[in-house]
Amino acid sequence: MRCFVRAKIHGITVTDKSVDYHGSVSIGKDLLRAAGIDPYERVEIVNLTNGQRWATYAIPAPEGEFTLNGGGARLGENGDRCVVMAFDFKAQFGPEPAQVVFCKAQAGKNVISEVTEYRASA
């Protein structure tokens, strides 16, 4: 089995951080739904601003929010742009496409600017 990307939220902006929380990242329910990421699912985070990368799990938050919690709060700052990815183990990529959600910051929240898919090449 190989590990393939299954879902991705690209360009999500950190809206808050909480070192005192027990861990995870809080992601707006709208963004989780659009990407097909389930609450409490393992995700990998890449901070595009500073290059940090870590694995944690996603918890649902109010729409448009993206909060770094626990130790992950030390890996970014408010306003940093990130990528959230979920993966799946299977023999090959496809036939189901990977869902990709692109975000932009608007009025202090993350809004969906585009939804597309990664598909296996023919």
Residue type at position 70: G
Residue 21: both structure tokens together: 């929380």
Which pLDDT score, from 0 to 100, does residue 121 have? 77
Cβ atoms 76, 82 nearer than 8 A? yes
Which pLDDT score, from 0 to 100, does residue 94 have? 83
For residue 101, what is the domain's CATH number?
A: 2.40.40.20
Which pLDDT score, from 0 to 100, does residue 56 have? 97
Q: CB neighbours of 45 closer than 8 A, spacing ≥ 6?
A: 25, 52, 53, 54, 55, 56, 68, 72, 75, 82, 83, 84, 85
Which pLDDT score, from 0 to 100, does residue 23 have? 77
Catalytic option among 57, 113, 118, 121: 57
The band of 122, judged by pLDDT with boundaries at 50, 70 and 90, is: low
The band of 76, judged by pLDDT with boundaries at 50, 70 and 90, is: very high
pLDDT over threshold 60, residue 28: yes
57 as an active site residue: the answer is yes
40 as an active site residue: the answer is no
Catalytic option among 18, 21, 24, 26: 24
pLDDT over threshold 70, residue 55: yes
Q: Determine the average pLDDT of the residues in 52-60.
A: 97
pTM for this prediction: 0.94
Residues of the domain holding 42: 2-118
Structural domain total, the chain? 1
The sheet with strand 109-118 has its strands ordered as 16-18, 66-69, 25-28, 53-61, 42-47, 81-90, 2-13, 98-106, 109-118
